[in-house]
Structure 1
Amino acid sequence: MRYPSRRIALLCCALVGCLFTRVCADDDLSFEQFLIQADDLQPPTDGSVRRLPLTDPAPVDPPPLQPPPVADSQTVPAEAAADPPESPPPPIQNLDAAMPDNMISSQLRTQEFDSPATTSMNNDFTKFPDFVGGILIEGERAAMKIGGYVKADFISDFDPIDSTDSFDTTTIPIGAPPRRNARFHARQSRLSFDTRWKTGGEVMRAFIEADFFGDGSDGSNAFRLRHAYGTYGRFTAGQTWTTFTDPSAVPNTLDFEGAVSNVNRRQGLVRWTQPILWDGLSLAAALENPRINFEIPSGVQGVGRTESPDVIARLRYEQDWGEFQSAMVLRELGFQPVDQDVITGTAWGFNFTGSVMPTDTIKGYYQITFGEGIGSYRGSPDVIATGPDTASILPMFGWMVGCKREWSDRWSSNLTYSRLDLEAIPGQAPDNLRSTTYLAVNLINTPYERVFWGIEYLYGIRENQSGARADANRVQMSFGFLLP
């Protein structure tokens, strides 16, 4: 009896698949043996149906030694019996496993650089890459780790907002006609180089990181410097997180902008960090780059001046169950009208942050920020015009609360709510910002090591000094691939 050609082809495919599955499970079967067995599956030319044996064919002359029986009642191929069995392949190892002590990079790991934050959890986008495993380049006395990640964002806006790549709620237009927006980009992708060597018994570190959130000629995808600093002992110099912020309290949002009150500024600085009193307590002092945001009155011509650096001090306490930080900034704001002397004013601010882990899977965090003339630390003005030829330093108050929960090894969520209020000073323009609100909630999955995807809902409100207000809704989906 002849099978129709289609049924013969399907049968052969099924049998080849079964044989291939067995070959994949048999480490001792050579490629030549696979070809021989596959050749036995060729259909006969006389039209008859060949029945396949349920066991391996009998050995040919000369007869080999009888192999021990296996669990599925099948015999082991002859060639495999002649050689001693190989040990099973080792399990897939974690790329972040500890390195041998004789490697240069393992000797350059320090508690200051490589101790994870006490409240660090999975998918921490502010964490620096680990100096272990992955892409490590070693010399005789130095080592460099290449890190970073690729992050693709798919954004859908249901209301008008002028910031299409990040959810900046201060850009929500009030009174704009309804519109929607779709945007795909990978601008948050990062690349970093962590180089270390020893000098005088101390580990020196030079760290550089960049992303693609710069302002290019086309308004997007320009390579932008995030970090470029060096550290020797307790001394740090270069561009990195301002001493006024607390990276451990930055919310774990898929959105690049983050909470409206959160200080996420990186700038040039020189800093000294000193442990004091008891374990976990440290004091840091820094001189930092004085960037200002000055709203010039319409009847005045001139430019903003920064004649002295920002002076910042920070007190930080860390334990296994949480961390707390208090920071203070003092700065001088200057403005020079045309052909006149510089007019100066003093600005100040405080930033109280903290995070607590009541369990290994729950992290709560908070922030309270207030002061006068520190709006530029969060993207709002330091000085606003109050008339054609008058201006005033702007007071502000912001706060944030949030919680991250790891549901399992693969699933986690984050909820963040934040609000920023600016003082209602008489005389300023009615369309100036009065307050803004930010809400983010997400679900993130890590199906494989160093691979994640997630979805996030975002809601924001902008209110002007006139009392007019508008809101915006956004849904964002992200996919990420972290370099080992």
Structure 2
Amino acid sequence: MVKKSKFNVKKIVLATSLLAITSAANASYTLELDDGDSLTFGGYIKIDARYMDGNIAANDYFYGGGTVLDSDINNFGIAANETRFNTKYTHGDVTGFIEVDFYGDGVSGGGNQIISNSSNLRLRQAYIQYKDILVGQAWTTFQNTSAIVEAADFAGPLVATAFIRQGQIRYTNGGLQLSIENPETYGTGGVTGDDSVPDFIGKYTFSGDWGNVSVSGLVRQLQTTTGTETGVGFGVAGRVKTFGKDDIRFQINAGNVGRYVGVTAITDVVNGEVEDSTSIMVAYRHFWNETLRSTIFYGGTTTDLSDRDRSQVGVNLFQNITKQLSVGVEVGNFDMANTASASGNTVGGSSNYIQFSTKFVL
């Protein structure tokens, strides 16, 4: 005899960064199953209209790199690639979570602007958590997701933000988290695919009604053409309440953090030597009223061996039409000093942008 489950559908609001990193209120739908199990669906639909003016090649969002051109260009585009979907299944002490978005074109190809504008699915997260142990692909333990900026441009100043998802085994005990994570040496003069020792990461988060501050450290074995070297880095990040609903978010990352920070702004190894870097990000979010808010942000990264100096500034305004639907506009600038163009004719790139966003949280 097959037992039929009775579903009790209800809507819940989740105060977590699992479902989205840029909304004021994140919602999801939960199906209550038999025996206390539950199935949760979440995500959001986001549409961006973006205009760029400068000598950095057009892109959907700014990250830590980009192609510097020999002359300025103007570009306008409309895209929905940031749209994402996730689902979580809870069975007692066991939780399974999977999340995808539509930024898969860079790896496996997709449509084009001539006909379909198709985009392929991309796996963001897939993990299993049993009590205090998490295994699978998730945000790196090194980063503090609550410090990510609310922005129209995807995640704001990624150039100075700890921002990686990767395979790991993580242990959590209160504010303490320890993990071993997937190793990879990124840069010039390194040995590709020869990483045999996992990255070791520890983080402690101090939290309260005032917000939270985390302190992170990582130790890695980096591959060079002459052997291996130990890389050590640290990060301090947080989100602290100020006045009313306002908050300040910040990150300071330094040492041999390499690929963990800046989304290609920093390499682990340059010509066989381990790179040092310093990254600073700060953002202040102000609520004009219950539904209208603004964030002003800055992020910058400098490196010693590759002599990179990259930064992004921006300011935005978001209005919630309903609890789940918001619209916003953002203006800003992305700068890549000490960067030669593809042809080697110019040094340095800079582009201004204005971006309009509409977001519906599921």
Q: TM-score, normalised by structure 1?
A: 0.65
> In the TM superposition, what is the alpha-carbon distance from 1:258 to its structure 2 partner?
2.6
Identity across the alignment (%): 25
Shift of 1:116: 3.2
Q: Is the 8 A contact 1:348 1:373 kept in 2?
A: yes
User: Are 2:94 and 1:204 aligned?
Assistant: yes
Alignment of 1:290-329 (within 5 A): 290-296=183-189, 303-329=192-218
Query: For the Cα contact (< 8 Å) 2:291–2:320, is it kept in 1?
Result: yes
The residue that corresponds to 1:480 in the other structure is: 359
Counterpart of 1:252, as a letter, is E
Structure 1 residue 217: Cα displacement? 1.8
- Give the 5 Å matches for 1:137-286: 138-168=33-63, 170-173=65-68, 176-198=70-92, 203-214=93-104, 215=106, 216-218=108-110, 221-256=119-154, 258-259=156-157, 260-275=159-174, 282-286=175-179
Counterpart Cα distance in 2 of 1:347 and 1:190: 34
Q: CA deviation at 1:231?
A: 1.4
Cα separation, 2, equivalents of 1:408 and 1:246: 27
Query: In 2, are the aligned partners of 1:440 and 1:459 still within 8 Å (CA)?
Result: yes
Matched with 1:125 is 22
Over 3 Å off, 4+ runs: 102-106, 114-117, 126-131, 465-468
Given the alignment, which residue of 334, 340, 363 partners 2:247?
A: 363
Secondary structure at the residue paired with 1:325?
strand
Higher strand share: 2
Count of matched residue positions in the alignment of Structure 1 and Structure 2 = 338
Equivalent of 1:469 in 333, 348, 351: 348
Q: Give the residue type in structure 1 aligned to 2:236.
A: F
CA deviations on 1:311-342 (whole Å, 9 max, x unpaired) are 00001111011211000000001246xxxxx7
| Residues 52 and 58 in structure 2, CA contact (< 8 A), matched pair in contact too | no
Runs of at least 5 residues in structure 2 that lack an aligned partner in the other structure: 1-5, 112-117, 341-345
Q: Which residue of 2 aligns with 1:22?
A: none
| Higher percent of residues as helix | 1
Q: Which has the higher contact order (CA 8 A, sep 6+)?
A: 2
- In the TM superposition, residue 190 of structure 1 has moved relative to its aligned partner by 0.5
The verdict on how the C-alpha distance between 1:353 and 1:373 changes in structure 2, with shifts beyond 3 A counting, is: closer
Offset at residue 395 of structure 1 (A): 0.6
Q: How does 1:20-39 map to 2 (within 5 A)?
A: none
Q: Which residue in the other structure is 1:346 paired with? A: 230
SS at match of 2:321: strand
When residues 127 and 325 of structure 1 are mapped into structure 2, their CA distance, relative to the original with a 3 A threshold, is farther
Counterpart AA for 1:309:
P
Question: What is the Cα-based RMSD across aligned positions, in Å?
Answer: 2.7
Aligned equivalent of 1:68:
none
- For residues 268 and 444 of structure 1, what CA distance do their matches in structure 2 show? 34
Q: State the alpha-carbon separation in 1 of the partners of residues 318 and 257 from structure 2.
A: 37
What's the TM-score, normalizing by structure 2?
0.85
Q: Residues 364 and 238 (structure 1 numbering): CA distance in 2 closer, same or farther, change over 3 Å?
A: same
> Who is 1:411 aligned against?
292
